[in-house]
Amino acid sequence: MKVDGRPYRTIWLGPDGTTVQAIDQTLLPHRFAIRDLRRMEDAEHAIRTMIVRGAPLIGATAAYGMALAMATDPSDPALARAYSVLLAARPTAVNLRWALDDLRARLAALPPSDRRDAAYRRAAEICDEDAEICRRIGEHGLAEIKRLKPRGERLNALTHCNAGWLATVDWGTALAPIYQAHDAGIPIHVWVDETRPRNQGASLTAWELGEHGVPHTVIADNAGGHLMQRDKVDFCIVGTDRTTRRGDVCNKIGTYLKALAARDNGVPFYVGLPYPTIDWTIEDGHRDIPIEERDARELSRISGRNESGEMVSIDVLPENSPAANPAFDVTPARLVTALITERGVCSADEAGLLSLYPERARAA
Residues forming the site for ligand MRU (CB under 6 A): 53-56, 161-163, 167, 173, 200, 238-241, 251-252, 327
Among residues 70 and 175, whose Cβ is nearest to ligand MRU? Answer: 175
The least CB distance from residue 174 to ligand MRU, in Å, is 6
Choice between 238 and 267, CB closer to ligand MRU? 238
In the sheet that 11-13 helps form, which strands lie side by side, from edge to edge? Answer: 11-13, 20-23, 34-37
**Nearest approach, Cβ of residue 15 and ligand MRU (Å):** 28
- Is 241 known to be catalytic? yes
Rank residues 107 and 250 by Cβ distance to ligand MRU and give the closer one: 250
- Identity of the amino acid at 185: G
* Nearest-angstrom CA–CA distance, 227 and 224: 5
For residue 129, count CB atoms less than 10 angstroms from its CB and return exposed for 0-12, middle for 13-18, buried for 19 or more: middle
- CB of 81: closest distance to ligand MRU in angstroms? 24
**CA dist., res. 178 & res. 183, Å (int):** 8
| Dist. CA 187–CA 78, nearest whole Å | 52
- Catalytic residue among 241, 248, 279, 329, which? 241
Q: Which is nearer to ligand MRU, 54 or 247 (CB)?
A: 54
Residues 45 and 39: their CA atoms lie apart, in Å, by 10
State which residue, 120 or 269, has the beta carbon closest to ligand MRU: 269
What sections of 237-316 are H helices per DSSP?
255-264, 285-288, 297-300
User: Smallest distance, Å, CB 294 to ligand MRU?
Assistant: 8
Shortest CB 40 distance to ligand MRU, Å: 20
Q: For residue 257, what are the CA distances in angstroms to 193, 222, 236, 347?
A: 12, 9, 12, 20
Q: Say what angle helices 94-108 and 76-87 make with each other, to 10 degrees.
A: 170
Length of the chain: 364
Nearest-10 crossing angle of helices 94-108, 112-146: 140
Q: How far apart are CA 362 and CA 364, in angstroms?
A: 6
Which residues carry out catalysis? 241
